[in-house]
Structure 1
Amino acid sequence: MHSRRKLVSAIALALALNGVVAHADPLKANVIHWWTSGGESAAIRQFADAYNKAGGLWVDNAVAGADQARATAINRIVGGDPPTAAQFNTSKQFHDLIDQGMLNNVDTVAAKENWNAIFPQSILDSIKVNGHFYAAPVDIHMQDWFFYSKAAFKKAGIAGEPQTFDELFTDLDKLKAAGLIPLALGGQAWQEKITFDAVFADVGGTDLYLKVYRDHDQNAVNSAAFKNVLTTFKRLHNYVDAGSPGRNWNDATALVISGKAGMQVMGDWAKGEFSAANQVAGKDFGCFPGFGPHSPYMVAGDVFVFPKTDNANAIKAQNLLATVMTSPEAQVAFSSKKGSIPIRPDVDTSSLDICAKEGIAIMKDKSRQLPNPEMLISPDLQGALTDVITNFWNKNESADDAQKAFASALKG
């Protein structure tokens, strides 16, 4: 009898221990992303640390280059070895995956966290399809901030920030005369396109921008106003250096950080590089999101999608990722490193820099929110229009010919 009792007790203890061990096993999450620069790596670690503290095990799969990372994720999904989560931009990039039934939704998280009430409409329009939430947004970026070196401006005798594009060109001339690179540009197609869109939003205005990208209005594309956008954009070519072609965006940012270049047009993720170099916004570098108090604020960002799986633990990991990444604490920690602003307005922003605070204030004015092109057009059309812009930038092509090419690409 005594032996039997000992055996029963041993079995009970083993079962209890097994239960503890099973319960203690962390939810492994294999996450594909393209955040590989210094500032980006510091930012993604905030999500990884938060996920691990919540009982998960973050398995990092960093792939250099956004296109390459997306291709890797799609290949793994199609090949039957899907990651737990994969990064895409806040756009239509992942909508084909939704249409093909290749993504899980995170509706339970969205309902519990009240995403409908918290997130901006432009973000909801991207992540919510046919009533279901297929992605967790993790940041709001504005892709056409103007960053400048305080030291370079001082050397060139520039007292304040330009208030118009005419004043911008005057300042670029001063920087050139001072022997500096006026405009640090990474000569890659996507960087040329966001520089063009910065000009488009500020010079062309919101109405023309929406007529072109949202409505595909041929009269708008063929207008004198759109030709002026193209001409203004190409004028910037006079202010880039010979080393621009093929340069990575963060290498262009490094030129501004070092004071070798005066300015850069780039998304607010560039602040992560300034932060990693121990530079302070308002002291070492300046930032402005356009010209004047009513300039449009182009909303962009990143999301993580959750590839289709029936594995119960993988689904739990996906829901935990969606919960942790959008939580107030992780949002602030991530944004402070990444340069973005939090996806939700109900967070403590006191620790964020002056650029982020300005962005948060602007986002409260819905009239200034402008969807980035990839929220309005398909990835194929975005690619075709990017080709038009990069050809115009890099070749001896007239504004008239570029205008015709843009109109033709927009027709499809």
Structure 2
Amino acid sequence: MEGPSIQSWAALGFLHELEQVAKDENWHDNLLPVAQQVNQYQQRYVAIPIAIHRLNWMWINQKVLRQYGLAVPESWDALIDVFERLKKNGVEPLALGKDQWQVALLFENLAFGYGGADYYQRAFIQMDPAVLNSDTTHEILHRFRAISRLVKPGMSHMRWDEGTQLLIEGERAFQISGDWVLGDLLASHAKVPTDIACYPAPAEHPGFIYNMDSFALFNSPRTDEQTAAVVSKTLSSPEFLKAFNRVKGALPARSDIKLNGFNSCSINAKKDMETATKTGQMIPSIVDSMAVSPIAQQATSSEIYRYFNDETMKPDDFILHLQNIPRGE
């Protein structure tokens, strides 16, 4: 489970409480603050935090960029310029499938990177009408349209992992997606970051978009205290979390796990997460179930997807549609 859905199931009384395990395993001291917040309902643990994913990564095939003499873009305008140059040389710039969530995640990276954490939170989580209808939003939508015109002709119904394989093979130059890409790169024995490099997606202010994977146990006759304790202690143990996240490409939800043996992309992600936490630039993902209710998430992603694919849809229409989305839990 992820984010608000944990709270929703807990509010209905369906989740097995894990407070005793949390006390026995000292989750209060050992879990990252964000993991404590997400996995509690009414200050009692109801889910087991496993992984923290960073969603604002830009994965780059270094050989493709070198072949055409292109530098790593440090802004969204520079990225669009690189996309245009690659297209002129017959290279599809971006590994992006037609799944709604893939397109919406691209927009989320652009909105966060171009507007910053405060703008992103006020515009797309709080849905502040003044911020949502600002020049910043129009500038973001202008760039999103430019990207869609460049990449839509080369898009297919490929899954994200198929896109990662095209990135490895040099059939695509970029993939803007979460750290699950790293898991596939490592499983494919790609040289990371030598051949496939990891850079934070372009941003005016460095930040960290996250989601979190958690396990929950439903109340049932089979979920007795002993079963719950064994499962919870195993899944939350440092040994399991370290082994799991090292191959997944994500970060352990505990603060007491050292990242020796992890890929350098993960090590850099942890440093960025710590900085973003201190500076207020660590933001929950809308697209990936962390920031809003499932209904609002689906409706927002649907409008993003529609704007990406429909050139007749104007920015003002997009903004109006988002303003009309119910924001209830």
TM over 0.5: yes
Q: List gaps (5 residues or longer) in structure 2.
A: none
The structure 2 residue matched to 1:371, chosen from 284, 287, 303, is 284
Normalising by structure 2, we get a TM-score of 0.92
For these two proteins, the number of residue pairs brought into alignment is 322
Report what 1:6 is aligned to.
Answer: none
Equivalent residue letter for 2:316? D
CA RMSD of superposed structures (Å): 1.9
Matched, 1:301 2:301: no
Preserved CA contact (<8 Å) 1:227 1:403: no
1:407 aligned residue (312, 323, 328): 323
Q: Write the distance in 2 (CA, Å) between the matches of 1:320 and 1:164.
A: 48
> 1:245 deviation in Å?
4.2
Give 5+ residue unaligned stretches, structure 1.
1-87
Q: In the alignment, which of 342, 347, 352 is matched to residue 262 of structure 2?
A: 352
Residue in 2 that maps onto 1:179: 90
**Cα distance in 2 between the residues matched to 1:325 and 1:216:** 36
| Cα distance in 1 between the residues matched to 2:212 and 2:191 | 23
2:5/2:293 contact within 8 Å kept: yes
Is 1:157 aligned with 2:69? yes
1:235 aligns with 2:146: yes
Say whether 1:99 aligns with 2:33. Answer: no
* Contact kept in structure 2, 1:92 and 1:378, CA below 8 Å: yes
Q: 1:112 aligns with which of 9, 24, 37?
A: 24
- Change beyond 3 A, Cα 1:307–1:208: same
Within 5 Å, give how 1:284-299 maps onto structure 2. Answer: 284-291=195-202, 294-299=205-210
Q: Which residue is equivalent to 1:208?
A: 119
Q: How far is the alpha carbon of 1:127 from its aligned partner?
A: 1.0
Change in CA separation of 1:304 and 1:156 when aligned onto 2, cut-off 3 Å: same
C-alpha distance after superposition, 1:3-22 (max 9, x if no partner): xxxxxxxxxxxxxxxxxxxx
Q: Answer whether contact 1:184 1:241 (CA < 8 A) is retained.
A: no
The residue aligned with 1:361 is 271
Deviations 1:273-308 (A, max 9, x none): 111111121212011123369421012121111100
What is the CA–CA distance in structure 1 between the aligned matches of 2:225 and 2:243, rounded to whole Å?
25
The answer to which structure, 1 or 2, has the higher relative contact order (CA under 8 A, 6+ apart) is 2
- Residues 384 and 409 in structure 1, CA contact (< 8 A), matched pair in contact too: yes
Please state how far the C-alpha of 1:192 moved relative to its aligned partner: 1.2
Provide the residue aligned with 1:398 in structure 2: 314
**Is the Cα–Cα contact under 8 Å of residues 183 and 239 in structure 1 kept in the other structure?**
no
Q: Return closer, same or farther for 1:121/1:371 CA change in 2, 3 Å cut-off.
A: farther
1:121 paired residue number: 33
Structure 1 residue 386 and structure 2 residue 298: aligned?
Answer: no
Q: 157, 162, 169: which one pairs with 1:246? A: 157
Q: Which moved more, 1:314-323 or 1:202-211?
A: 314-323
Q: Percent identity?
A: 25
- Correspondences of 1:259-338 after superposition (within 5 Å): 259-291=170-202, 294-311=205-222, 314-338=224-248
Given that 2:124 and 2:132 are in contact with CA atoms closer than 8 Å, whether structure 1 keeps it comes out as no
Q: Distance in 2 between matches of 1:353 and 1:294?
A: 24
Q: 1:292 to 1:235 in 2, by over 3 A?
A: closer
Q: TM-score, normalised by structure 1?
A: 0.74
